[in-house]
Amino acid sequence: MGIIALVVAILLSVFGYRAARNFTFRRLRYTAVGSHPAFSGIAAGMGAALLASPFVAILPIVGAGTAIALGAGVGTGVVAGTRGRLGDDD
């Protein structure tokens, strides 16, 4: 069961990263998110972890680590989205 929980946490983290990066790059490109990417990433990551915590409390396989991994993925995705696409550091 531990390996399944680890795989789910990794997949959610990767999904959160990619979704947040694409959303930030496409939709929030010309907003205030770009002026403070570190603060925006921390706020988005904490928000995602808080929103995921009731769901991981109900599900039997995953736990708090999954919510934290999702929050970390979303936070780093927001920061990466403000810097542009991969390899495009402005």
Instruction: State mean pLDDT over 43-54.
Output: 94
Q: Is 23 exposed, middle or buried (0-12, 13-18, 19+ CB in 10 A)?
A: middle
Is 13 part of a structural domain of the chain? yes
Q: Nearest 10 degrees: CA dihedral of 64, 67, 70, 71? A: -110
Is 87 part of a structural domain of the chain? no
Say whether pLDDT at 3 is over 50.
Answer: yes
Say whether pLDDT at 87 is over 50.
Answer: no
Is 68 part of a structural domain of the chain? yes
Say whether pLDDT at 86 is over 50.
Answer: no
Q: Who wins on pLDDT, 62 or 89?
A: 62
Consecutive H or E run containing 2: helix 2-27
Q: How far is residue 19's CA from residue 22's CA, in Å, rounded to a whole number?
A: 5
Q: Tell me the residue range of the domain where 33 lies.
A: 2-82
Is 12 part of a structural domain of the chain? yes
Number of structural domains the chain divides into: 1
The angle at the Cα of 23, spanning 33 to 20, to the nearest 5 degrees, equals 85
Is 51 part of a structural domain of the chain? yes
